[in-house]
Amino acid sequence: MEATLAGLSFRKMLMLVCSVSTIALLSVGCLPQFTESSNRLVYNLPTELTVAAGSELPGTGIRYERMDDKGAYLLIKGQQALKRKGDSVSWSGYLAPGVAADLRLRIVWFTDKAIYLVGTAKMAIEGAQPQAVPIVTSSAVKFAGPVAYSANRGAVIPGTTVVYLDKTADGAKLGGVEGYAFRQMGDSLIWEGTLRERVYCRLEARVIQYDEKGIRVGGLVTLWVGP
């Protein structure tokens, strides 16, 4: 059962954040950014994180100690912090080798079992080398949000191994996909794989536009940073 705050489920809260992020994305252009020369992927995503009592958010050192009638007690950078609902929890550093993160979170609920955080995460993945392989989705560190990508003809769609080959009478012809290689505008495109060691990715997108020069897709990306 999902915990709720004033009748609003965490999933609905996350969807609201995603909607706001989508508007911002359409305003500022394509995110994440991808620089082929450096193989660097940058994501700006809304996020929902849960930390069990007595546990820490993997890779951050942020630990949820306990709660009492005063609030929730966290251990942040080795110091105890008393927090209440609505208070901020921020962290910057490396979640894994080559995976930098800037987390800007707020506490929306806590119990004696767990604390629940929502906010945004900026992820910078260095040395990205996407591979289409089965993914691990059991990590407690998960980020999800809307993305839009553009790729020129003959180029890879960023953060995947899918190549836009050409515009044809059957639709956009793609390489690096299993089975039927053609997609019309509005058709779905799903990709799963690793971006680098310990970083797993699922892209659930649809074709927005394509022509002789390139293709544009948009949808939802989910990242897991695993142990």
**Within this chain, do residues 121 and 13 fall inside the same structural domain, yes or no?**
yes
pLDDT for 150 beyond 80: yes
State how far the Cα of 43 lies from the Cα of 122, in Å rounded to an integer.
6
State how far the Cα of 72 lies from the Cα of 117, in Å rounded to an integer.
12
Q: What is the pLDDT of residues 170-197, one digit of tens each?
A: 999 999 999 999 999 999 999 999 999 9
Residue 133 lies in a domain: no
Say what the pLDDT of residue 48 is.
87
Residue 132 lies in a domain: no
**Within this chain, do residues 121 and 154 fall inside the same structural domain, yes or no?**
no
Range of the domain at 35: 4-125
Q: What is the pLDDT of residues 5-58, one digit of tens each?
A: 334 454 444 444 444 344 333 333 333 433 444 589 999 998 888 999 999 988
Say what the pLDDT of residue 94 is.
93
State the Cα angle at 49 between 75 and 66, rounded to 5°.
35
Say what the pLDDT of residue 44 is.
92
Residue 137 lies in a domain: no
Count the domains in the chain: 2
High-pLDDT (> 70) share of the chain, %: 83
The domain boundary, picked from 93, 125, 157, lies at: 125
**Within this chain, do residues 102 and 148 fall inside the same structural domain, yes or no?**
no
**Within this chain, do residues 194 and 104 fall inside the same structural domain, yes or no?**
no
The domain boundary, picked from 92, 125, 158, lies at: 125
Q: What is the pLDDT of residues 115-142, one digit of tens each?
A: 999 999 999 999 999 999 999 998 878 8
Task: Give the DSSP per-residue string, 152-212.
Answer: ETTSBPTTSS-EEEEEETTEEEEES-SS--EE-TT-EEEEEEEEETTEEEEEEEEEEEE-S
Q: What is the pLDDT of residues 73-90, one digit of tens each?
A: 999 989 999 999 999 999
Residue 119 lies in a domain: yes
Is there a contact between 183 and 174 (Cβ–Cβ < 8 Å)?
A: yes
Residue 130 lies in a domain: no
Say what the pLDDT of residue 139 is.
85
